């Protein structure tokens, strides 16, 4: 980063650099939720165990909402240049969407367990694929967290992380298409409820990967616009 750009960001962000620290903490919560949801996908669990894990995600989602709300309040009261505010508002909301998607997945897995969906071996087989794809998506979130930790202070590293997130999102798309092909090819082995259940889970994981990519691109555009 040039000295001029570094000084510009430091002046523009001022005390509001705390927003990026808050977003980093928010992603930490999503990473923890990913690990919990992965257990729900990959392990043989009782309904009570799944309910306990789902409840952990519910608690984490509430914590994440609190961070997002506080970040929005800080943004509204802060001293950021007006050109940064809309993009940061979008980033905060999009980051919160990630945890919302994980909350949805956890609750959907709980509903599926209570309805006996896990008794179908075709469902649990797809669960393994979904768990693997979720962990791939998690690796994108790890890079997004690093972007927030940098707080716009290292343009070269931010650019590299943005590209890595793009690559991960492409890989998630490939996995998504593979899983969808698998689901459709085995649809006769599933009830309409089971089929819909799996499709919704695929979409939610894909939405997380898309959100990570959208956030990283927004950060990249902000830096590019300010450099010009």
- Output the tens digit of pLDDT for each of the chain's 228 residues: 455 555 555 555 554 578 889 999 999 999 999 999 999 998 789 999 999 999 999 999 999 999 999 999 988 876 555 567 888 999 999 999 999 999 999 999 999 999 999 999 999 999 999 999 999 999 999 999 999 988 667 788 999 999 999 999 999 999 999 999 999 999 999 999 999 999 999 999 999 999 999 999 998 888 776 664
Structure confidence at residue 86 (pLDDT):
87
Structure confidence at residue 40 (pLDDT):
96
How many domains does the chain fold into? 1
**SS3 (DSSP) at 45:** coil
The DSSP code for 119 is G
Phi, psi angles (nearest 5°) of residue 121: -65, -25
The CATH number given to whatever domain includes residue 180 is 1.20.58.220
| CA nearest to 123, candidates 52, 182, 62, 48 | 182
Structure confidence at residue 12 (pLDDT):
54
- What's the pTM value of the predicted model, to 2 decimals? 0.90
Structure confidence at residue 222 (pLDDT):
81
Structure confidence at residue 15 (pLDDT):
47
Q: Is 161 exposed, middle or buried (0-12, 13-18, 19+ CB in 10 A)?
A: buried
Structure confidence at residue 228 (pLDDT):
43
**SS3 (DSSP) at 151:** coil
Residue 9 belongs to domain spanning:
3-227
């Amino acid at each position: 980063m040039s000295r001029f750009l570094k000084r510009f960001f430091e002046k523009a962000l001022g005390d509001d650099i705390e927003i990026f620290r808050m977003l980093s903490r928010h992603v930490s919560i999503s990473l923890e939720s990913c690990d919990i949801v992965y257990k729900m996908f990959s392990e043989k669990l009782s309904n009570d165990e799944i309910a306990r894990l789902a409840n952990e995600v519910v608690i984490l989602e509430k914590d994440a909402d609190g961070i997002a709300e506080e970040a929005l309040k800080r943004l509204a009261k802060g001293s950021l240049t007006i050109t940064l505010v809309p993009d940061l508002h979008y980033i905060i909301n999009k980051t919160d969407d990630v945890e919302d998607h994980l909350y949805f997945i956890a609750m959907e897995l709980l509903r599926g367990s209570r309805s006996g969906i896990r008794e179908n071996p075709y469902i649990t087989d797809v669960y393994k694929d979904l768990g693997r794809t979720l962990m791939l998506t998690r690796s994108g979130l790890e890079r997004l967290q690093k972007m927030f930790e940098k707080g716009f202070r290292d343009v070269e590293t931010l650019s590299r992380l943005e590209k890595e997130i793009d690559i991960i999102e492409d890989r998630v798309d490939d996995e998504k298409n593979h899983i969808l092909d698998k689901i459709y090819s085995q649809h006769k082995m599933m009830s309409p409820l089971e089929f819909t259940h799996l499709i919704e889970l695929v979409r939610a994981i894909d939405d997380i990967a898309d959100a990570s990519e959208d956030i990283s691109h927004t950060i990249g555009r902000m830096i590019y616009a300010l450099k010009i």
